[in-house]
Amino acid sequence: MHDFEMPTDYVERVTARQGRPHTCESFETRKTALVVVDMQNYFMHESQQAACPIAQEVVPNVNRLAEAVRKSGGIVVWIQNLSPWESEESWSVARERYTEDKAKQRWESMQKDAFGFELWPELDVRDEDQRVIKRRYSAFIQGSSNIENVLQDHNVDTCIVAGVATNVCCESTARDAMMLNYRSLMVSDGCATSTDREHLASLGNFYLNFGDVQSTDEVIARLEASARRNTEDAAQ
C-alpha cells in the first residue's frame, strides 16, 4: 500500500481557509455513495497492459468501506471502464497517446466479454449495489456514463471515491463530482496508482482545491458516528 501522509502545510492552508481540516466531518448517511472506480482486471492483474498491482492491496479497505456504507444506509456504485473509444475518431486525442499495438490491446481488453473488463474477483460486490459503465476517465463528464441518474435516483449528495488509478480516473471523477455540487472525498488508502509520488501529488492537489481526503478508518468511524446520530435525530 502507498506510504502516504498529507503534508502539514497543506493541512494548515486548508484549515486556515475553511476553519477545519475536513469538510466531511459527518455524513447524511442515506445520501452517501461509495463510488469505486475501475477496480477491474485490466488495471489490477499483472498480465494486463495497464496493471497497477498495488491496487490489489487496497481491496480489503474497499470492501470494508462498502460494508460500512451499506450498513449506514448509503449505496455502493461499482464503475467499470469500457473501451474508451467507440471508433478511431470518437476520442482520437486519447487514442493517439498509444502506439497502434497498445491501442489495439486496450480496445480488446476493455470489451464487455473480455477478462480485462471484469471486476477484480476479491471485491465484495452485492446484488443490491449499483453498476455503472463509463467511457472516459471521469464518470461525470458528459457522455461518459449514467452515474448522475443513479445518484439522483437515490438522493445522493456525497461521493466517497476509491479505486484505481488515484491520479487518473479516481481524481477525474472526484473533481467532477465536486464541480457538480456533490460533496467529494477521496480515500487515501482506498485508492492506488503506479507510484507513491503520483499518489501524493494527486491527493494533495485534490485536498487543497476540490474536496476532502481521509483514510478508510477515518471514513468508517465518521460514517458509524453519523449513522447513530441520524438514527437518534429521527427518533426525536
Give the pLDDT confidence of 25-66 residue by residue, as tens digits. 999 999 999 999 999 999 999 999 889 999 999 999 999 999
With bands split at pLDDT 50, 70 and 90, how would you rate the model's confidence at 97? confident
Q: Does 102 score more than 60 pLDDT? A: yes
Give the pLDDT confidence of 161-186 residue by residue, as tens digits. 999 999 999 999 999 999 999 999 99
The CATH architecture annotation of domain 12-235 reads 3-Layer(aba) Sandwich (3.40)
**Total H helices, total E strands in the chain:** 9, 6
Q: Does 117 score more than 90 pLDDT? A: yes
pLDDT of residue 77: 99
Residue ranges per domain, the chain? 12-235
Q: Tell me the three cell numbers of residue 80.
A: 467499470
Backbone angles phi, psi at 131, to 5 degrees: -120, 130
How far, in Å, CA of 121 to CA of 125, rounded?
9
Q: Under DSSP, is residue 188 helix (H, G, I), strand (E, B) or coil?
A: strand
**Bridge partners for 132 per DSSP:** 79
pLDDT of residue 84: 61
Question: What residue type is 213 in one-letter code?
Answer: V
Of the candidates 217, 215, 187, which has an alpha carbon nearest to the alpha carbon of residue 202?
187
Q: Are 209 and 14 in contact (CB under 8 A)?
A: no
Q: Does 87 score more than 70 pLDDT? A: no
More confident residue, 85 or 79: 79
Q: Under DSSP, is residue 90 helix (H, G, I), strand (E, B) or coil?
A: coil
Q: Tell me the three cell numbers of residue 156.
A: 445522493
